[in-house]
Amino acid sequence: MLTLQNVVVRYGGIEALHGVSIEVPQSRAVAVIGANGAGKTTLAKSVMGLVRLTSGRVIFQGSDLGRLQTEARVRLGIGLVPEGRGLLPTLTVEENLLVGGHTQKTEIRSQLAHIYEEFPMLLPLRRRAARLLSGGELQMLAIGRALMARPRLLILDEPSMGLSPKAAGNVLEALQHLKHAGTTILLVEQNTNLAFEIADYVYVLETGNNVAEGTGEALTDSEFVRESYLGGV
Amino acid sequence: MSLFTTQIVNSLVLGGVYALLSISLTFLYSVSGVLQLAQADVMVVGAYCGYLTTLLVPNLVVGVLVGTLVTGLLGLAIYEGIFRWMRNSGHLILVAGLALSSLIEESLKVIFLSGHPVAYGQRVVGNGSSLGFQLLLLGLAVAIGAAFQIFLMRSRWGRALRATADDHETARLLGIPVNLMVRLSFVISSALAGGAGVLLAVIFQYITPFIGGQIEFTAVAVILFGGLGSIPGAIIGSFILATSQVFATTYLSSSYQDAITFGLIVLILVFRPKGLFSVSREVRA
Ligand SMILES: Nc1ncnc2c1ncn2[C@@H]1O[C@H](COP(=O)(O)OP(=O)(O)OP(=O)(O)O)[C@@H](O)[C@H]1O
Ligand SMILES: [Mg+2]
């Protein structure tokens, strides 16, 4: 469904991605793990058109996205839950959700009801300003908001960042639910446990290079990954 | 009517017009990041449009509508001609605003008899100082402000504009055409200023190309006072400033008016540099 071919991204003099290739098949969950500064956020942004590719290609459902605007990519069915959740602080919870459905011409209300069903914790908060939410509530809101546009491919950038184990558990549950419902997921994470839990296939990114890939089991068996990313367990 | 009551009504009317101008400035700033220093001159263009319209149709409401429409288009031209090319230009944006301000002022001078004062005819404003007429002015200001507020809070595009004001990148990620929103904010804010200009010309009882300059500082004081980006702050700030100006003019002397405006600016900059009602943004996770 999504293919990155030799993606290179440069910020001024620094090259953040040195030619990364990944493949996300339809209705699967793929994770990209890596330490701080590995280039995970840059990778997610390159799919959304928020950073310009220096070279390489991003292909979604068979067509090269080229220099397509971010808005147009959203309309094609790609959603990103950004790092830090992309808070819209002055909007209420419900307004955040409605604005998430901006690209939808019809059935916004039924989609809203559906999101409240999926994330019942948001319902009693609907009139509250988003800036007053806790980290866990905000993450659920950010995911629910991205789902308002009914994306075919959902990308999440470190959704478990700064969350308690319980809140991270809620995120995991929501992702599993989505996956079973057929949404394709690209998860970008430092939290290897969460990544291995949900993903069918995992890429390991290190300072802009794809250094390892495989299924969860294959990677947990690999000496290199165990030592670098799983605390040597 | 006692002098005191008259002054209260006058303060409300003047405050309503200041509020429209400051809302327009603060709204434009929060969506586009541009502090448009020529907005008061856009307001004067609105005033002239209202004047010309009422020569044909002696009705103030029609004047306000035409003033709003023409300045909305002017806002679009200002964006396409200038500010579109000045993203991330920092302080140069302020310089561009000042340059545009002189450009508009000088053009109006050329068009309108070297800027000789003109005034709405009796047929339009009648006895302009009657209470009924003052209330009509206040009603028009409130109607413009309320229409804007309802659009912003209740409509799909109003929501998209507020999302853009909160965070451009997030808005983009939700499929909102951010460039279009910025363009729209220029159109809407200029239209608001233009509508307010028609009313201002009635309050001042004359129009020259320079009345913009007179209230530009007030508008900047108001948004500093209320906190840049805060609409409630802009409204409250407008009424506080208008009241102090009206009462200073009545009970002291009109020359104290500017002193009061600048005094308030200094006090705010010293004690509340972010304004009385600045929106707290530090919560961004
Ligand atoms: N806008 C930018 N300008 C310059 N350099 C940048 C910019 N954004 C990121 N970088 C650099 O690119 C590299 C990759 O950054 P990126 O944010 O993609 O990493 P990350 O894997 O998401 O890290 P983290 O886990 O801390 O979020 C880093 O060296 C970073 O300093
Ligand atoms: Mg990151």
The pTM of the full predicted model, rounded to 2 decimals, is: 0.88
Q: Is B278 on the interface with A (CB under 8 A)?
A: no
| Average pLDDT over chain B, rounded to an integer | 86
Percent of chain B with pLDDT over 70: 92
Residue A164 CB: number of other CB atoms within 10 A? 12
pLDDT at A142: 96
Contact (CB, 8 A) for B78 and B100: yes
**Mean pLDDT for chain A?**
91
pLDDT digits (tens, 9 = 90+) for B91-127: 898 899 999 999 999 999 888 877 778 877 776 666 6
Burial class (CB in 10 A: 0-12, 13-18, 19+), B229: buried
Q: In the numeric block, which tokens belong to residue B264?
A: 């308030």
Contacts with B285 from chain A: Cβ below 8 Å:
84-85, 87, 135, 138, 162
Q: Please report the number of interchain residue pairs, chain A to chain B, with beta-carbon separation below 8 angstroms.
A: 85
Report which DSSP code applies to B64.
Answer: H
pLDDT for the residue numbered B277:
61
Query: Which residues on chain A are in Cβ contact (under 8 Å) with B27?
Result: none
**Residue that wins the pLDDT comparison between A42 and B206:** A42
CB B280 within 8 A of CB B233: no
DSSP helix/strand/coil, B85: helix
Pick the closest to residue B13 from B192, B124, B134, B126 (CA basis).
B134
A24-61: per-residue pLDDT in tens?
999 999 999 998 989 999 999 999 999 999 999 999 99
Quick one: pLDDT at residue A128?
95
Q: What is the pLDDT of residue B42?
A: 96
Report the run of H or E that residue A22 belongs to, with start and end: strand A14-24
What is the residue whose two structure tokens read 């044909």?
B56
Lowest mean pLDDT among A188-192, B79-83, B120-124: B120-124
Q: What is the pLDDT of residue B88?
A: 76
- Residue closest to B208 by CA, chosen among B116, B125, B121: B116
Beta bridge partners of A154: A79, A185
Sketch the domain layout of chain B as residue ranges. 3-210
Return the minimum-mean-pLDDT range out of A27-36, B128-137, B153-162. Answer: B128-137
DSSP 8-class letter at A172: H
How far is the centre of ligand 2, averaged over its atoms, from the C-alpha of A83 (Å)?
6
- pLDDT attached to residue A49: 95
Distance from CA of B177 to the nearest CA of A (A): 6
Residue B146: count other Cβ atoms within 10 Å of its Cβ: 10
Q: What gap in Å lies between CA B174 and CA A151, rounded to an integer?
A: 11
Place B278 in a pLDDT band, splitting at 50, 70 and 90.
low
- Across B38-63, b (16+ Cβ under 10 Å) vs e yields bbbbbbbbbbbbbbebbeeeeebebb
What six digits make up the tokens of B172? Answer: 């983009």
Number of separate helices (H) and strands (E) present in chain A: 9, 10
Is the Cβ–Cβ distance between A9 and A180 less than 8 Å?
no
**pLDDT at res. B1:** 62
Longest dimension (CA), chain B: 58
Chain A residues near residue B172 by CB distance under 8 angstroms: 48, 50, 70-71
CA A72/CA A183 separation, integer angstroms:
19
pLDDT at B280 over 60: no
Q: How far apart are the first and last CA of chain B?
A: 55
Nearest to B281 among A84, A86, A89 (CB): A89
Phi-psi category of residue A213: left, alpha or beta, with phi > 0 → left and psi -120 to 50 → alpha: beta
Mean pLDDT of A199-214: 91
Per-residue pLDDT tens over the stretch B31-66: 999 989 899 999 999 999 999 998 898 888 999 999
Amino acid at B119: A
Q: Is the pLDDT of residue B225 over 80?
A: no
Instruction: Determine if residue A110 is left, alpha or beta; phi over 0 gives left, psi from -120 to 50 gives alpha, anything else beta.
Output: alpha
**Distance of alpha carbon A5 from alpha carbon B133, whole angstroms:** 70
Output the CA torsion A46→A49→A53→A59 (10° steps).
80
Least confident among A112-116, A157-161, B205-209:
B205-209
Is residue A14 classed as helix, strand or coil in its secondary structure? Answer: strand
